[in-house]
Amino acid sequence: MKNTHDLTPHLAFVEFHPLVHRFKNSTEQGHRADLALSCLKLMDRFKTIHPIHAELCLALRAQNHSMADKYGDAWASNIESAGQQELFMGDEYIGQAEKPAFFEKFVPQFQKLLIGCDFANLQNLLNKVSLLVHFMNQCSDLALFTENRHFEFLFYLIVAVLYGLLWFSLLAKQDGLVQQNEETSPSLTWAQISRKCESYNKSHEHFLDDLDDKHPEVIEKLHSEFTFCTLVRWYCAFAKFKEHRLTEFCEDFELLQNDMSVLETIKLQSEALICYGISSIAAKPFKELDFQLNEQVLELFTSNTLVEASLYEVMKNLSMAKFTKAKDLWEPQLLNRLDSWVSYALPGKTKGTFWEFLREDAS
């Protein structure tokens, strides 16, 4: 996938909730302060306040950090006051024909509502936009396709479903003025979003075939749209993992692994690898867990963070039938590190934890 790095600054807002998750699961004070500062900088950039603001500031003060005063209560109050003045609920999009003007208004509001955990109003906004703004399902030429930006809107739909309902729903802002009803429930499930994405891709992927005579700006817009398509596919794979469809997640990962770099635009490459590793333990024959037949995946596991390499050591020992060694490696410290990265993405279990289930499965 080309030119994916160009989207990274624009998509930094989706890094926020995983950063908060790692902050809440970290016990090392210096690391907590670093994560807290990253979160506060994102809130400052996107001009919104997450409910954990006070705890983030405490982490900075505990380290006598020079930025603690800047991000104090006065700063938060100013941002919240400005946010209330700018709040809108999508009605101004009636008859909005020009996509650039639409996205210029819509995206900042989406970012603020997502970071602020205001998932009910976020979904209300998306539902209204879905009714008021027209996205063509079939574009007759490249210009119409790049102007339509349908993949981009599907990206925002899947982000709202995954972050607001499947991953971080317990963090949802509680507002007595907002009632949970059909207006604040998703109009599309992740599976429906996936089908729309695949259908739209099938109809328009031919635009990628001949770009030799196209202007660089047109090519950049085209690649941006298809980057959003790939991101939607990755997010739908994560949704399957959350629903305990581990074999399907493995299949999707293997289809998408050549586009692992796209995950760097949303900082979820490590999470995808970890989810693939634990899905493989549960769904694949142990003899395949060393990934000797998949050099690309092997390289990813052994060249990334400590937690991925540690997980690979478990898988490698399972592949060699060294079950006692694998169980010894499957120890609380590793599980705590795995939790700090992906516990929000794990399938739910009615009895016991997911790790207990996986340990039994690997026995």
Give the Cα-Cα-Cα angle 297, 277, 294 (nearest 5 degrees).
25
The neighbour count for residue 87, using CB atoms within 10 Å, is 11
**Whose CA is closest to 278, among 239, 233, 234, 246?**
246
Q: Could you say which of 221, 237, 267 is where a domain stops?
A: 267
Q: How far apart are CA 204 and CA 54, in angstroms?
A: 47
Residue 8 pLDDT: 80
Handedness of CA 59, 63, 67, 69 (dihedral sign): positive
Residue 131 pLDDT: 85
Residues 196 and 290 reside in one and the same domain: no
Residues 141 and 263 reside in one and the same domain: yes
Residues 197 and 259 reside in one and the same domain: yes
Give the CB-side neighbour count of residue 188, counting CA atoms within 13 A.
23
Q: How far apart are CA 100 and CA 123, in angstroms?
A: 21
Residues 175 and 313 reside in one and the same domain: no
Q: Are 123 and 156 in contact (CB under 8 A)?
A: no
Residues 323 and 211 reside in one and the same domain: no
Residue with tokens 């299949």: 251
The dihedral over CA atoms of 258, 260, 262, 266, expressed in degrees to the nearest 10, equals 170
Q: How far apart are CA 99 and CA 57, in angstroms?
A: 39
User: Cα(first)–Cα(last) distance of the chain, in Å?
Assistant: 39
Q: How far apart are CA 27 and CA 4, in angstroms?
A: 34
Residues 234 and 290 reside in one and the same domain: no
Q: How far is CA 239 from CA 8, 14, 201, in A?
A: 22, 16, 20
Residues 72 and 204 reside in one and the same domain: yes
The neighbour count for residue 349, using CB atoms within 10 Å, is 13
Residue 320 pLDDT: 95
Q: Are 345 and 167 in contact (CB under 8 A)?
A: yes
Provide the 3-class DSSP secondary structure of residue 3: coil
Q: How far is CA 256 from CA 32, 42, 55, 100, 296, in A?
A: 33, 29, 37, 29, 12
Handedness of CA 12, 17, 22, 27 (dihedral sign): positive
Residues 142 and 227 reside in one and the same domain: yes
Q: How far apart are CA 66 and CA 64, in angstroms?
A: 6
pLDDT in tens, the chain (363 residues): 444 446 788 899 999 999 999 999 999 999 999 999 999 999 999 999 999 999 999 999 999 999 999 999 999 999 988 876 565 555 665 555 578 888 988 999 999 999 999 999 999 999 988 888 889 999 999 999 999 999 999 999 999 999 999 999 988 876 544 445 555 567 789 999 999 999 999 999 999 987 878 888 889 999 999 999 999 999 999 999 999 999 999 999 999 999 999 999 999 999 999 999 999 999 999 999 988 878 899 999 988 678 999 999 999 999 999 999 999 999 889 999 999 999 999 998 655 677 877 766 665
Residue 5 pLDDT: 45
Residue with tokens 């003025």: 177
Give the CB-side neighbour count of residue 181, counting CA atoms within 13 A.
5
Residues 335 and 244 reside in one and the same domain: no
Residue numbers of the domain that contains 286: 268-363
Give the CB-side neighbour count of residue 303, counting CA atoms within 13 A.
7
Q: Could you say which of 267, 291, 314 is where a domain stops?
A: 267
Residue 178 pLDDT: 47
Residues 217 and 80 reside in one and the same domain: yes
286 CB-contact burial (10 Å; exposed 0-12 / middle 13-18 / buried 19+): middle
Residues 196 and 287 reside in one and the same domain: no
Helices (H), 116-215: 119-132, 142-148, 150-161, 190-204
Q: Which residues of 91-115 are buried (b: 16+ CB within 10 A; e: fewer)?
A: eebeebeebeebbeebeebbbbbbb
- Domains identified in the chain, total number: 2
Residues 147 and 285 reside in one and the same domain: no
Identity of the amino acid at 274 = I
219 CB-contact burial (10 Å; exposed 0-12 / middle 13-18 / buried 19+): middle
Q: Could you say which of 248, 267, 286 is where a domain stops?
A: 267
Sequence-distant (≥ 6) Cβ neighbours of residue 100 within 8 angstroms: none
Sequence-distant (≥ 6) Cβ neighbours of residue 63 within 8 angstroms: 29, 30, 33
Residue 176 pLDDT: 43
